């Protein structure tokens, strides 16, 4: 923790951690005449589109991203549910209490030194976040190679990693709940082969930012005695 603080995290952190954990990187590509950044991953035995320089596109399924599904092979990701995990909920308490960054250090009548302001953060709320990873390709062996690759990172009991806004690495348990067939056949020349891997992440979400409150006088701190050489001195 940086200075006793723990970072705040939200849904986008798990979205990013989901794809970077299995090796996805941001690539600058040209789509519709504009340069954009997209995630892509190198998978042995699978050659991605030229637009991604042979890497396999990793697409989050959102309404504005429909045009990207035409690229094969690709991995598309949909978030299917965010469910409160009440069995992991512990009401009350706080994640940390530290001196606020804008606090001044003061000396009490008993000689103890402390801050004029404290920064407090409550615990993040526990949620189970479920994702579906859809692997699509034209060729069966490519689809098999994609499944084999993702299976190295996510299985019945695995982990997802990302870095929070305080620069600390977070790790969360990820459960592979199922692998389903994803073969689509309009006609032989327009077939799509692949798999859907469903994951459940034991995550947590911060709905409130840290707050800054005055130090309680009951703690023996007098704001009338600034310590020379400390913050604000």
Instruction: Round to whole Å and give the CA distance between 170 and 205.
Output: 13
Check residue 5 and give its pLDDT. Answer: 77
Confirm if 113 and 106 have CB atoms less than 8 A apart: yes
| pTM of structure | 0.80
Instruction: Round to whole Å and give the CA distance between 78 and 19.
Output: 12
Check residue 62 and give its pLDDT. Answer: 58
Check residue 216 and give its pLDDT. Answer: 65
Check residue 222 and give its pLDDT. Answer: 40
* Greatest pairwise CA separation for the chain in angstroms: 85
Instruction: Round to whole Å and give the CA distance between 231 and 193.
Output: 63
Instruction: Round to whole Å and give the CA distance between 146 and 44.
Output: 8
pLDDT in tens, the chain (233 residues): 545 778 899 999 999 999 999 999 999 887 777 888 899 999 999 999 988 999 999 998 754 444 444 689 999 999 999 999 999 998 878 888 888 777 778 877 777 787 778 888 889 999 999 999 999 999 999 999 999 999 999 999 999 999 998 899 999 999 999 999 988 654 445 678 999 999 999 999 999 888 888 876 434 434 433 333 333 33
Check residue 213 and give its pLDDT. Answer: 85
Check residue 78 and give its pLDDT. Answer: 94
Confirm if 133 and 151 have CB atoms less than 8 A apart: no
Pairing status of strand 125-137 against strand 74-84:
antiparallel
> Structural domains in the chain?
11-219 (3.30.2000)
């Amino acid at each position: 923790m940086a200075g006793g603080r723990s970072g705040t995290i939200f849904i986008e952190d798990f979205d990013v951690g989901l794809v970077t954990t299995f090796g996805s990187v941001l690539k600058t590509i040209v789509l519709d005449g504009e340069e954009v950044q997209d995630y892509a991953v190198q998978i042995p035995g699978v050659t991605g589109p030229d637009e991604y320089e042979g890497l396999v596109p990793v697409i989050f399924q959102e309404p504005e991203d429909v045009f990207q599904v035409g690229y094969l092979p690709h991995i598309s990701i949909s978030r299917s549910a965010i469910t409160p995990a009440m069995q992991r909920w512990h009401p009350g308490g706080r994640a940390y209490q530290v001196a606020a960054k804008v606090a001044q250090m003061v000396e009490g009548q008993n000689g103890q030194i402390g801050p004029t302001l404290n920064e407090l953060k409550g615990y993040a709320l526990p949620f189970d976040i479920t994702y579906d990873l859809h692997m699509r390709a034209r060729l069966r062996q490519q689809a098999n190679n994609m499944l084999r690759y993702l299976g190295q990172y996510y299985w019945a009991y695995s982990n997802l990693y990302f870095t929070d806004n305080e620069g600390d690495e977070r790790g969360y348990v990820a459960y592979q709940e199922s692998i389903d067939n994803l073969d689509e056949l309009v006609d032989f020349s327009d077939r799509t082969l692949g798999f859907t891997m469903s994951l459940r992440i034991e995550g947590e979400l911060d709905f409130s930012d840290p707050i800054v409150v005055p130090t309680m006088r009951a703690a023996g701190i007098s704001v009338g005695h600034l310590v020379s050489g400390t913050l604000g001195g």
